[in-house]
Amino acid sequence: MKIFLLGGTKDSTNIIEFIKENYDAYILTTTTTEYGAKLARESGSDDTIARPLLKDEIAEIITANGYDILIDATHPFAEHITQTSATIAKELKMPYIRFERPTTNFENIDIECIHYVNSFVDAGKLIADEFKQGNVLHFAGANTMEDVLKNVSTDRFYPRILKVESSLEKCDALGINPNHIIPMTGAASCEENVELIEKYDACVMITKESGEIGGVINKIEAANEKNIAVIMIQRPQIKEVNKKDMVSNLDELDVKLKNFF
Q: What is the topology classification, in CATH, of domain 2-102+237-260? A: Rossmann fold (3.40.50)
Query: How confident is the model at residue 212, as a pLDDT?
Result: 67
The residue among 49, 90, 13 whose CA lies nearest residue 244 is: 90
pLDDT in tens, 1-57: 999 999 998 899 999 999 999 999 999 999 988 989 999 999 999 999 999 999 999
What angle do helix axes 34-43 and 10-22 make, rounded to 10 degrees? 30
Task: Give dist(CA 245, CA 243) in Å, integer.
Answer: 5
Q: List own/partner pairs for 147-154 with CB under 8 A and 24 or more apart.
A: 147/119, 147/120, 147/121, 147/123, 148/120, 148/121, 148/123, 148/124, 148/206, 149/124, 149/174, 150/121, 150/124, 151/121, 151/124, 151/125, 151/127, 152/124, 152/127, 152/128, 154/180
Indicate if the pLDDT at residue 86 is higher than 70: yes
Query: How confident is the model at residue 214, as a pLDDT?
Result: 64
Q: What is the topology classification, in CATH, of domain 114-233? A: Rossmann fold (3.40.50)
Listed by start position, the domains of the chain span 2-102+237-260, 114-233
pLDDT in tens, 117-170: 999 999 999 999 999 999 999 999 899 999 999 999 999 999 999 888 889 999
Query: How confident is the model at residue 111, as a pLDDT?
Result: 83
**CA 58, 59, 63, 68 torsion-angle sign:** positive
pLDDT in tens, 193-206: 999 999 999 999 99
Q: Same topology for domains 2-102+237-260 and 114-233, yes or no? A: yes
The stretch 220-231 carries a mean pLDDT of 95
Enumerate residues 6+ apart whose C-beta is below 8 A from 153: none
Confidence of residue 181 (pLDDT cuts 50, 70, 90): very high
* pTM for this entry: 0.68
| High-pLDDT (> 70) share of the chain, % | 98
Higher local confidence (pLDDT), 104 or 79: 79
